[in-house]
Structure 1
Amino acid sequence: MNNNLLEVFEVKVAIAGAGAMGSRFGMMLAQGGNDVTLIDGWLAHIKAIQENGLQANYNGKNVSVHLPVKLQSEVDSTEKFDLVIIFTKSMQLAQMLSDIQGVLGQKTKVLCLLNGLGHVETLEKYVPRENIFLGNTMWTAGLEGPGKVKLFGFGSVELQNVGERKEEDAKQIADFLSQSGLNASYSDNILYSIYRKACVNGTMNCLTTLLDCNMGQFGATSTAHQIVVKIVNEFAAVAKVEKINLDVSELVKHVESCYDPSVADHYPSMYQDLIQNKRKTEIDYINGAISRKGQKYGVPTPYCDLLTAMIHAKEELLEAK
């Protein structure tokens, strides 16, 4: 195992959760010359990658990359990784960490890039605090079927150490990701950034899913602005109790940048999961998390309460698994 990621020519990386975003990071890191293994729980996806490679529409160009891919319940515990990047769905995090315990060495760094809130508590049950790094990404990706993804646009990554005095390790990881074009940077306030992204997920994800539309179509409706303002205000009110100050006006503009023509045609991950693939969503870790925190802090969150309940109702109607 390597203490300093940048001291080695090739870093041994595992992507735990090889859906759309995990596949994007795996492909870009592999193209950067790194040893990358995909780990996932979707058997059809794994078989498709094993047989045909990871197929991607990469900014309009068809690309195929052959990567090692393993079922999470069958990972080889004798294999250890320098860096594990977590891209499961939030509700799958604990099971993934339990399944891959054998590949986590004493020095393995674990970078969690999940959507939503409240993941550190789960991570600490399986990973030493000094090895945990938390971040978020603004890259986009779509899952078009087993072994097939659509990758487009440009993005970035922000990350920060959870353990004390691990800032240099966090900066090393950011530099390493940037070497493969992932545009990563160190943040000294990652919780602000995570809340900021959660505002996007807490609007675009659930609203496009419930209204069966893409982001641009939602933005073109007469009520879009009013709805976004209400939801962002609820996120900001909860964050304020946790001493995280969100600028509501700036965040509303940030959310509404999703209507830009360059990304307006995108269907967010929750839409992909529920509408396209009949899979359960992460709503309990986005709007649902705000609802729970609101109840705890005595902060009213009627929009998040309703959106959470409606997404669960939609899951039942579509018999999501």
Structure 2
Amino acid sequence: MKIAIAGAGAMGSRIGLMLHQAGNEVVLIDRWPDHIKAIRENGLIGEFEDHKVTAHLPIYSPEEIVDGHANVDLIVALTKSMQLEAMFQDIQPIIGEKTFVFCLLNGLGHEETLAKFVPKENIIFGTTTWTAGLAGPGHAKLIGSGSIEMENLAPQGKAFTLEVLEVFQQAGLNPIYSSNVRYSIWKKACINGTLNGLCTILDCNIADFGSLSIARNLIESIVGEFAAVAEAEGIELNQSQVIQAIEATYDVNTQGLHFPSMYQDLIRNHRKTEIDYINGAVWQKGKNYQINTPYCAFLTQLIHGKEELLKAK
């Protein structure tokens, strides 16, 4: 399968590398000049827990995608939420009538953006529990295992979605076909809405956060706000199940030593975060439904304050 990774940061590098190793034709697309330069000169370095590999993959900036590039079968969307529309605006030359988009972005509200570029029957939504980090430009650190959940947005897309599932299975990405991906997206948003912002503000990894005496109270409060807003949109979150999933990440043998993506973006790289598409989205939706979300509102503003202090770009 010919696959473009739109947003080849830490997670995009991991998924692109594993798909490439399984024999697919993979093209990386990213905006970070140093990352592009490093991969072109030295290949993409993937540092797994017990070995290291180097893959020589083509990589372009979105502006370099021109009509001469052939259409791809699948675009895996892994940009930051606030970059999604601009990315797809630039890469339209590789989007054909039969091109599908698999959205694995964190956060809420991406369906409307993608529907501007491809029909809804060509959209797959999903979530992932895989983790990744960048040790530097062109160098991905790939710790632990994970899975990917996927479901076609419209019934007409199921046949191709099952083909994608098979491709991801061959790549060892542990895909699962979902019958209710919207629930999973909200559940994942809860995980990100607690661990991302809180670890960033508290300057700690997941295990360190989980060791705090205040951890349970904080996650219960934030998950409660997500659940109230989700219910207004017709999705009934099982709060106990969600909290259990969050607390499972504290294990140092799985994800506990990981610093969430928001921490990596803001604290390490002084980049702006996706907070407006996670806690910020719940805050804004809550206003629309007249639901009070003080924890999400406060955390959103704290992250924006930290962005200002660090002069994030």
- TM-score tier, shorter chain, comes to over 0.9
How many Å separate the matches in 2 of 1:122 and 1:72?
17
- Count residues with an aligned counterpart: 311
Runs of 4+ in 1 over 3 A off after TM superposition: none
- Aligned residue among 2, 9, 13 for 2:3: 13
Pair 1:125-2:116 in alignment: yes
Matching of residues 30-109 of structure 1 within 5 Å: 30-78=20-68, 79-109=70-100
Deviations 1:212-238 (A, max 9, x none): 000111111110110010001111111
Shift of 1:173: 1.3
How many Å separate the matches in 1 of 2:236 and 2:83?
30
Other structure's SS at 2:156 match:
coil
User: TM-score, normalised on structure 1?
Assistant: 0.95
- Aligned residue among 241, 251, 269 for 1:260: 251
Which residue of 2 is the match for residue 316 of structure 1?
308
Which residue of 2 is the match for residue 203 of structure 1?
194
- Aligned residue among 273, 286, 306 for 1:281: 273
Q: Is the 8 A contact 1:175 1:185 kept in 2?
A: no
Q: What RMSD over aligned residues (CA atoms) do the two structures have, in Å?
A: 0.9
Pair 1:217-2:197 in alignment: no
For structure 2, the 5+ residue unaligned runs are none
Which residue of 2 is the match for residue 290 of structure 1?
282
Deviations 1:7-40 (A, max 9, x none): xxxx111101000000001100010011101011
How many Å separate the matches in 1 of 2:230 and 2:194?
16
Pair 1:235-2:199 in alignment: no
How many Å separate the matches in 1 of 2:67 and 2:201?
41
- Aligned residue among 170, 185, 192 for 2:176: 185
How many Å separate the matches in 2 of 1:130 and 1:248?
31
How many Å separate the matches in 1 of 2:247 and 2:58?
39
Identity %: 54
How many Å separate the matches in 1 of 2:24 and 2:155?
28
Q: Is the 8 A contact 1:215 1:266 kept in 2?
A: yes
Pair 1:160-2:147 in alignment: no
Matched to 2:239, the amino acid is: V
Shift of 1:147: 0.7
How many Å separate the matches in 1 of 2:312 and 2:12?
22
Deviations 1:142-199 (A, max 9, x none): 1121111110111111111112332222222112211111111211111000011111
Deviations 1:104-150 (A, max 9, x none): 01101111100000000000111121211111111110112111111
User: TM-score, normalised on structure 2?
Assistant: 0.98
Other structure's SS at 1:88 match:
coil
Matched to 1:142, the amino acid is: G
Q: Is the 8 A contact 2:123 2:157 kept in 1?
A: no
Q: Is the 8 A contact 2:101 2:123 kept in 1?
A: yes
Deviations 1:272-302 (A, max 9, x none): 0000000000000000010011001111100
